[in-house]
Amino acid sequence: MSLFQRGDIWWYEFWFAGRRIRESSKSESKTVAKSAEKNRRRELEEGFNNVSDVRRERVRAMGEIADEFLEDYKLRLPQSATFAEYAIGHIKRLLGDRMLVDVNEACVIRYQNDRLTERAAPKTVNEEVGFLLRIMGDLGDVLRVRLKKKKKLKLKVRNDIGKAYTAEEKERMLAQAANARSPHIYLALTLALNAGVRDAELRGLTWDQIKFAKGYLVVGQSKTEAGEGRTIPLNSSLLPVLREYAVWYKEKFGATRPEWYVFPFGRPRPTDPTRPITTFKTAWRNVRKNAKVTGRWHDNRHTLITDLAESGAGDQTIMDIAGHVSKRMLRHYSHIRMEAKRTALESIVNKQANVGRVQSGNSESVGSADCVGYPHWPGGLKNVSGGSSNPKPDCSELPATAHDFEGEYPQKSPQSANLDAHRGMLRSRKSKKIIGSSGRTRTYNPSVNSRNLFRPGFTESIRFRVALQVAPEQYVPANICKCDSCRLYT
């Protein structure tokens, strides 16, 4: 235990678990420095003894733990090792000299602020914090819960970075790529716009993955599990370009061996087909500049997914082609353009207009029908004394005028009385004396009654009394109506 002064500030120094601890008390008072040293020692002892089997881990430096984590990460996930090395490098630079027990919520928030001050993107900072918490193991899991509860775990990320190129921009880019110096960029751009293949998937593409006979390609090592091994059909725009490129490839290297890369290594011209190309950046930058288009290479993938969504393709189909695992990611990549939205909204107006025209045409055709009708329609009744009261009635299924029915109910029931002339014969039925309730109450059902009224021969047996001023005796049934609305047949 030792206290010493630097200028006006008191410092304390002591050894703990084989490590020398030298820190500032940030105070000019020696008494305060003694108390700070005592609290610091107690904090380390409590952290050291909290979990018996990881006591030694808690006092290890973050830089040492990060190196071990990165070594293991490279072996397990070699395709993501480059970014992991970049992210962990910043963690070591800012937190490498700290002990694991010293990294708390305030430390993580301070790291986020330091990286934002260095103008790092929020998404990058979130990835780095994710690596930091994974490096910390169990303590990182505890911090993750606490930070999430305080809503400090992740920084807000912009969602408007991606874009979808228009049809005119795609034409200009393809035209410039076809005339570019690079022999790869035209095929690479066509693959990105018509198959949605990622940059790393393009560079690792081999001839064994392209099935010319069956017209599809198989994606090899991918960013996600859903993307690895997915099959993408070669459409009519992509297949001719791929075949033309294969002819050039054979002239250049003599063959297209299955294990050779489609985009071979070499600068400025390809020379080694056994190694993949490292980047398309230079050729892509020249294509964008000459075509006067702004955007990223990854926006070609956004463009394909947007085109598929606007064409009406199903979500599952799009996810299978793009290699996505969730609809959330699909929404992130889909940028439905304003013209497609306007067309969709106009289709509703056109649909309503068409429905209105159809209804208007139906009403006109019904009104002009040459229908005589049955006695239950006033217009379909033929006056004995002279002519029809209404030569062109409404032939709807239900009469427009309320009618009173005289006689028994058309449906059979124990409470029904005699049905006159039913099926062409008079039949009598023994009357029953009904005492009290019948046990069943009949209600008028328009749909059932209207169907019964249209049964040939049945309505002739029912006596109707039309609610008109003219006496019913002056009306007799007219000819049977044969129009489609009445559906009556002789």
Do both 415 and 479 map to the same domain? yes
Do 393 and 379 meet the contact criterion of CB atoms below 8 Å apart? yes
Do both 42 and 66 map to the same domain? no
- Rounded to whole angstroms, how far apart are CA atoms 183 and 172? 17
- Rounded to whole angstroms, how far apart are CA atoms 186 and 27? 67
- What is the domain range of residue 66? 62-149
Residue 193, token pair as written in the block: 């716009």
In a domain, 57, yes or no: no
Q: Residue 295 CB: number of other CB atoms within 10 A?
A: 17
What's 207-230 look like in SS3? HHHEECCCCEEECCCCCCCCCCCC
- Rounded to whole angstroms, how far apart are CA atoms 73 and 92? 16
- pLDDT at position 332 is 73
Do both 73 and 145 map to the same domain? yes
- Rounded to whole angstroms, how far apart are CA atoms 53 and 357? 81
Terminal alpha carbon distance of the chain? 118
CATH number of residue 301's parent domain: 1.10.443.10
Do 90 and 128 meet the contact criterion of CB atoms below 8 Å apart? yes
- pLDDT at position 17 is 83
Identify the domain boundary among 94, 117, 149: 149
> pLDDT tens digits, the chain, 490 residues: what are they?
689 999 999 999 998 888 888 999 999 999 999 999 998 888 888 777 765 455 666 778 999 999 999 999 999 988 788 899 999 999 999 999 999 888 999 999 999 999 999 999 999 999 999 999 999 988 899 999 999 999 999 999 876 667 889 999 999 999 999 999 999 999 999 999 999 898 989 999 999 999 999 999 999 877 777 678 889 999 999 999 999 999 999 999 999 999 999 999 988 789 999 999 999 999 999 999 999 999 999 999 999 998 888 888 888 888 888 887 577 777 777 776 667 777 777 777 877 777 777 666 655 554 444 444 444 444 444 444 444 444 444 444 444 444 444 444 444 444 444 444 444 444 445 554 445 545 554 554 554 444 454 455 444 444 444 444 444 444 444 444 555 545 444 4
- pLDDT at position 345 is 78
231-233 and 216-218 as β-strands: parallel, antiparallel, unpaired? antiparallel
- Rounded to whole angstroms, how far apart are CA atoms 57 and 222? 35
- Rounded to whole angstroms, how far apart are CA atoms 8 and 148? 40
- pLDDT at position 32 is 92
Residue type, 383: N
In a domain, 404, yes or no: yes
* Of 360, 390, 356, 358, nearest in space to 375 by CA: 390
In a domain, 13, yes or no: yes
Do both 223 and 105 map to the same domain? no
Do both 386 and 455 map to the same domain? yes
Do both 71 and 133 map to the same domain? yes
* Of 239, 163, 160, nearest in space to 195 by CA: 239
Per the structure, how many domains does the chain have? 4
- Biggest CA pair distance of the chain: 132
Do 235 and 194 meet the contact criterion of CB atoms below 8 Å apart? yes
In a domain, 347, yes or no: no
Do both 309 and 454 map to the same domain? no
| H/E run at residue 253 | helix 238-253
Q: Residue 365 CB: number of other CB atoms within 10 A?
A: 11
19-24 and 210-211 as β-strands: parallel, antiparallel, unpaired? unpaired
In a domain, 343, yes or no: no
- Rounded to whole angstroms, how far apart are CA atoms 490 and 474? 24
Q: CA-CA distances (angstroms) from residue 154 to 91, 95, 112, 149, 333?
A: 16, 19, 9, 11, 21
Instruction: Please name every residue paired with 23 in a beta bridge, in sequence order, or none if there are none.
Output: 12
Identify the domain boundary among 119, 149, 179: 149
- pLDDT at position 403 is 45
- pLDDT at position 193 is 94
- Rounded to whole angstroms, how far apart are CA atoms 441 and 451? 21
Q: Where are the beta strands (DSSP E) in 348-469?
A: 381-383, 404-406, 463-465
In our burial notation (b when 16+ CB lie closer than 10 A, e otherwise), range 316-346 reads eebbebbbbeeeebbeebbbebeeeeeeeee
- pLDDT at position 393 is 45
Do both 320 and 288 map to the same domain? yes
Q: Residue 124 CB: number of other CB atoms within 10 A?
A: 17
Do both 324 and 224 map to the same domain? yes
Do 470 and 383 meet the contact criterion of CB atoms below 8 Å apart? yes
Do 478 and 466 meet the contact criterion of CB atoms below 8 Å apart? no
- pLDDT at position 274 is 94
Q: Which phi and psi (to 5°) does residue 3 adopt?
A: -120, 140
Do both 422 and 490 map to the same domain? yes
In a domain, 29, yes or no: yes
- pLDDT at position 340 is 73
Do both 280 and 421 map to the same domain? no
In a domain, 54, yes or no: no
Q: Which class for 201: exposed (0-12), middle (13-18), buried (19 or more C-beta within 10 A)?
A: buried
Do both 221 and 327 map to the same domain? yes
Identify the domain boundary among 149, 179, 198: 149
In a domain, 362, yes or no: no
